[in-house]
Amino acid sequence: MNSRITPIIVAAIGAILLAASFVFKGNASGDDINVVIEKADFIMPAAHRVYANPQALDGKYYLFKAKIKNNTNHSLEDVRVRYRIPGYIDWTELTVSGQMFPGQTLVVPCYPKFDDKITEKSTESIEKAEVEVSWDGASKDDIVEEEFSFKFTNRNEYVYTGIKKEEISTWSDMFDNNALIACFVTPNDPIVKYYTQNLQEKLLKGEAASVTNKPEDGVRFLAGIYEGTRASHMVYSGTKGIPQSTEDVQSIVQQIRLPREVITGNTGLCIELSCLYASVLSAAGIDPIIYMVPGHAYPGFKMNGQYYAIEATGINGEGLGGIMGAEEAFKKGQEQLETFFKQAQMGDPRYTLVDIHAVNQQGVTSMDLKDDQFLRGKVDQIVASWSGGAPVQDNNKPSNQGGSNRVYTPDNNLRTSSLSFSIPSGWQTHMKPVPQMPILTAQVTSPDQLTTVSIYDIPAGNVQQALNTIEQYFGNFGMSMQYQINGNTVVGLTYSNAGTFNWMGKALNKSGGIRLVAVGSPDYAFGQKSNEINTIYNSIR
């Protein structure tokens, strides 16, 4: 063969092979591409920013990881992965891989970016995520489509671990989500800031421990928070604590009131009180700590390398010997802290702490919450009880009806046609609880603050006009309402930044207008409180 022809033939063969590679590169089918989805079982709205941040806690929290393997005998160009969550996130491209060689595996994590409005979610739901994998030259039939479902909790739901119940074997497994409790610490919440400002001005007389950086001032500030809760007669609702053992699976998921809800509801569990203290401490510039031990949590702070604690449930703790003074509560906290570090140093995994500012720096940040004039009014009422203003009083009048009370709200125009109702003993009556809403005559609340009876006296000609007036007032506070009227019966839902409130009530003509008595609870507790609510509702007459 002519030596001059040989290079030409070789070049031609190379060109043919090169062209063939382009011709055949898109002939892979979905059957040749293996996709395995590793998904999260749930997403907590309170922690939505953590799930969106691949740097947060080294990327531990994600919606899913797509493991893609090229089982063809040729390379794939521009492999694309995209996903969507109908109703929450439109089609979003996660990555484009320039080239996948035969046998190569590509792992694509998804860190979903939800709108901040997700923190207004008051009910849990099951949602669907859809995933598509495509590549250059793939036909519509070639595209790999996968979908899976996951639980979207409500914003108040805290899940102590992401490990499946049947796989939990150690205490570390049980508290796998410990760091995420920082998402429920909300120092930037306008209501928490307003509460902290009043606490500093009214009780601490301008105390600024973060400026002095002196432990004794920090302790004084910690005691000031305690005195604020005690002076407002806050109740420790110790019905459910954090998990006590690895078998305590019923405590893995817990409804946690946000600090604003603890403040304005004037009650809290140990973990909720700890989040409240941590929020106020952080808002004041002090490094908050939440200590977790079997079945219990308590708050404190660190300063100059030293740790401090207080027993927040001393305001009315079960098994704690009644109400403690601030000094006694701090002494109790320090005793518990001594035991805590002793056990922790011995390697006991049941004793853990969450350094809020430290995990904040690792990307675990709290949710944004909107200002709420209605809740500010609640704070004003609490502040008044500190300063000797209009204190909260129990106006229940005893009767002979089986140990319960019949509540009559004061009204000079009220006669036998007024609506009254029976409630159990121990509930509190708040007269004119929101000065900015004069039509709200009174509210009566249960000891755990989950059930509320509201009495409205509205200058209106009929029930529809009365409800319209209430709606207008609610609108001024950024709230809205849905309802149905059936004769003198009204049922409805009230929406606010604090969540959804489910209620039912009765309306009646009275001198000068309409009286409405409504009883209900937050949406997440309505089922739990249905018997209590129905009993009170049926007593309205």
Reported as a single tens digit per residue, the pLDDT across 88-132 is 999 999 988 888 899 999 999 999 999 999 998 888 999 999 999
Return left, alpha or beta for 285; rule: phi > 0 is left, psi -120 to 50 is alpha, else beta: left
Amino acid letter, 243? P
Residue 408 near residue 417 (C-beta atoms within 8 A) = no
Residue 87 near residue 76 (C-beta atoms within 8 A) = no
Q: Which residues contact 139 (CB under 8 A, 6 or more apart)?
A: none
DSSP string, 435-475: TT-TTEEEEEE-TTS--EEEEEEE--SSHHHHHHHHHHHHH
What is the rounded CA–CA span in Å between residue 533 and residue 97?
57
The pLDDT of residue 96 is: 83
The pLDDT of residue 6 is: 53
Residue by residue, pLDDT tens for the chain (541 residues) are 455 555 555 455 454 444 444 433 444 555 688 999 999 999 999 999 999 999 999 999 999 999 999 998 888 999 999 999 999 999 999 988 888 899 999 999 999 999 999 998 888 999 999 999 999 988 888 899 999 999 999 999 999 887 777 777 676 777 789 999 999 999 999 999 999 999 988 888 766 655 567 888 899 999 999 999 999 888 887 655 555 554 444 457 888 999 999 999 888 999 999 999 999 999 988 999 999 998 899 999 999 999 999 999 999 754 445 788 999 999 999 999 999 999 999 989 889 999 999 999 999 999 889 999 889 989 998 998 886 544 333 333 333 333 333 333 333 322 334 577 777 677 777 777 887 888 898 888 887 778 899 999 899 888 898 899 999 888 888 888 888 888 788 988 898 877 788 899 998 887 778 999 999 988 877 777 888 888 888 888 7
What is the rounded CA–CA span in Å between residue 282 and residue 399?
47
Q: State whether CATH 3.40.1000.10 applies to domain 393-539.
A: yes
Structure tokens at 513: 């207008």
Neighbours of 240 (CB within 10 A): 13
- Going from the C-alpha of 148 to that of each of 65, 94, 121, 246, 458, the distances in angstroms are 12, 17, 21, 29, 50
Q: Which residues contact 513 (CB under 8 A, 6 or more apart)?
A: 457, 458, 459, 460, 461, 466
Question: What is the pairing mode between strands 421-423 and 405-407?
Answer: antiparallel
DSSP string, 394-434: ---EE-SSTT-EEE----TT--TTS--EEE-TT-EEEES--
Helices H / strands E in the chain, number of each: 13, 26
Reported as a single tens digit per residue, the pLDDT across 265-320 is 888 999 999 999 999 999 988 999 999 998 899 999 999 999 999 999 999 754 44
Q: Of 476, 439, 444, nearest to 458 (Cα)?
A: 439
pTM metric for this prediction:
0.69
What is the rounded CA–CA span in Å between residue 473 and residue 480?
9
What is the rounded CA–CA span in Å between residue 247 and residue 32?
44
Residue bearing tokens 């027993």: 311
HSE-CB for 465 with a 13 A CA cutoff:
10
Buried b (16+ CB within 10 A) or exposed e, 243-257: beebebeeebebbbb
Q: Where are the CATH 3.10.620 domain residues in the chain?
A: 164-375
Q: Where are the CATH 3.40.1000.10 domain residues in the chain?
A: 393-539
Residue bearing tokens 């005893």: 398
Residue 452 near residue 521 (C-beta atoms within 8 A) = yes
What is the rounded CA–CA span in Å between residue 24 and residue 236?
70
Give domain 164-375's CATH number out of 3.30.1490, 1.10.760, 3.40.1000, 3.10.620.
3.10.620
Q: 3-class SS at 129? A: strand
Structure tokens at 290: 């939440």
Beta bridge partners of 126: 151
**Total residues found in the chain within this entry:** 541
The pLDDT of residue 208 is: 60
Alpha-carbon dihedral of residues 470, 476, 478, 483, nearest 10 degrees? 10
CATH class of segment(s) 25-152: mainly beta
Q: Where are the CATH 2.60.40.10 domain residues in the chain?
A: 25-152
